[in-house]
Amino acid sequence: GKGIAVFTSGGDAQGMNGAVRAVIRMGIYLGAKVYFIKEGYQGMVDGGDNVVEASWSSVSGIIHKGGTVIGSARCKDFRERPGRLKAAKNLVKKNITNLVCIGGDGSLTGANLFRVEWSSLLDELLSTGEITKEERDTCAYLNIVGMVGSIDNDFCGTDMTIGTDSALHRIIEAIDAIVATAYSHQRTFIMEVMGRHCGYLALVAALASEADFVFIPEWPPEPNWPETLCKKLAQERAMGQRLNIIIVAEGAIDREGQPITAEQIRKVVVDQLKQDTRITVLGHVQRGGSPSAFDRILGCRMGAEAVLALFEMKPDSEAVVVSLDGNQAVRVPLMACVEKTKAVAAAMAAKEWEKAVELRGRS
Ligand code: ADP
């Protein structure tokens, strides 16, 4: 039958296990041989025990776990052709010509490059005698389906990425805990959340926690933000509010593109308002804990759709990403989404904020 392999790459995210589980089981159900590749591209390059055939029961009891049980890694080797050559050989030896890549835009870009290069990699392996002509012919095409696992919701082309909802739950739990103590002491607190290039977590957490102010990279504040901020905070206190909440994305910047840090904000509030002000940096807590019901189901639905996509692909079909559109799992062209995601970063780098926000769109 068809040889399919699934791997997780780049940063981990809650819900990846649900996606892996669905790929394995849908693949087996449809009669494919399905493999895990452990440790992302590194496992693909190293081969050996990293590429393991999966059974129905090998994915039992993982859907409730955070992170990714098959491991993820950054892999320098795969960025260079010799690394991809080794990876291709390891796949051909197991008759794997279908890949499901669960990762961020970097991982998906790598997967697409691999597909484009595939036949030349196989020609090279044939010429050095590392694979046979028969192996080259039976493995002539590589099909790729991607799913975006990222807590930041930083990918254009899907309404939600796998892991975002769980990270939001974690952030809201942390804010609620801090609100109780801040309320008791009439404090102002500043919470730094993840999102180097994407303010989704910060923005949605701010809305859901009635924050007074939020700093995100796509929409930097006006240069007089310290005044605006202090006016707002003072006004809230004057109306009897006992605490103030400020949310800042780790990638927050000003209109010059310079970072706005939690410490900078704290200094403004302390210097101008003398408010008792504390900073919390949530860090990896946001990636931790068990996946939310939403992320488990999102992973399952996307994983199942990914396998269906592979079964319907022609040998030379372009790579697709399974994405969420409204409440539907749909297939969208992988490279178009990667390019749009890169265009957001480029717009931010060029300080074209309105364009960045428009490009970000629903995702
Ligand atoms: P993410 O997938 O979360 O964006 P990275 O950008 O770190 O994370 O990518 C994860 C891995 O994907 C890298 O360590 C590398 O092995 C592979 N990769 C990323 N970009 C490319 C590329 N342009 N070409 C080949 N491989 C890539």
Would you call 295 a catalytic residue per the annotation?
no
Ligand 1 contact, 116 CB (< 6 A)? no
Nearest residue (CA) to ligand 1, atom 14: 74
> Max alpha carbon distance in the chain (Å)?
79
User: What pLDDT does residue 360 have?
Assistant: 87
The whole-number pLDDT of residue 183 equals 86
Cα gap 100→355, rounded to integer Å: 32
Which burial class, exposed, middle or buried, applies to 349 when counting CB atoms under 10 A from its CB (0-12, 13-18, 19+)?
Answer: exposed
Distance 74 CA to ligand 1 centre (A): 7
Tokens read off for 100: 């499901």
Type of residue at 346: A
288: number of Cβ within 10 Å: 15
User: Which two structure tokens, joined as six digits, stand for 145?
Assistant: 């389906």
Q: Which residue from 139, 195, 187 is spatially nearest to 164, judged by alpha carbons? A: 195
Selected catalytic residue, list 12, 49, 77, 152: 152
Closest Cα to atom 12 of ligand 1: 107
For the Cβ of 155 lying below 6 angstroms from any atom of ligand 1, the answer is no
CA of 110 to the centre of ligand 1 (A): 6
39 lines ligand 1 (CB under 6 A): no
Q: Give the C-alpha separation, 274 to 218, whole Å.
A: 30
Classify 270 as helix, strand or coil: helix
Q: Which two tokens stand for residue 93?
A: 């030896």
CA of 31 to the centre of ligand 1 (A): 31
- Contact, 213 vs 171, CB < 8 A? no
From the number of C-beta atoms within 10 Å of its C-beta (0-12, 13-18, 19+), residue 135 rates as middle
pLDDT at 182: 86
Cβ atoms within 10 A of the Cβ of 237, count? 17
Instruction: Tell me if 8 CB under 6 Å of ligand 1.
Output: no
pTM equals 0.95
pLDDT score of 146: 98
Structure tokens at 320: 């697709």
Position 362 scores a pLDDT of 59
CA of 106 to the centre of ligand 1 (A): 4
**How would you write the pLDDT of the chain (363 residues) with one tens digit per residue?**
799 999 999 999 999 999 999 999 999 999 999 999 999 999 999 999 999 999 999 999 999 999 999 999 999 999 999 999 999 999 999 999 999 999 999 999 999 999 999 999 999 999 999 999 999 999 999 999 999 999 999 999 999 999 999 999 999 999 999 998 888 888 999 999 999 999 999 999 999 999 999 999 999 999 999 999 999 999 999 999 999 999 999 999 999 999 999 999 999 999 999 999 999 999 999 998 999 999 999 999 999 999 999 999 999 899 999 999 999 999 999 999 999 999 999 999 999 999 999 998 755
Please report where in the chains the tokens 């068990």 appear, as a residue: 290
Binding-site residue ranges for ATP: 11, 74-75, 104-107
- Residue-level pLDDT at 288: 86
The three-point CA angle 52-58-61 to 5° equals 140
Locate the ligand 1 atom nearest the alpha carbon of residue 73 and give its number: 14
Ligand 1 lined by 105 (C-beta under 6 Å): yes
Question: Quick one: which H or E segment has residue 34?
Answer: strand 33-37
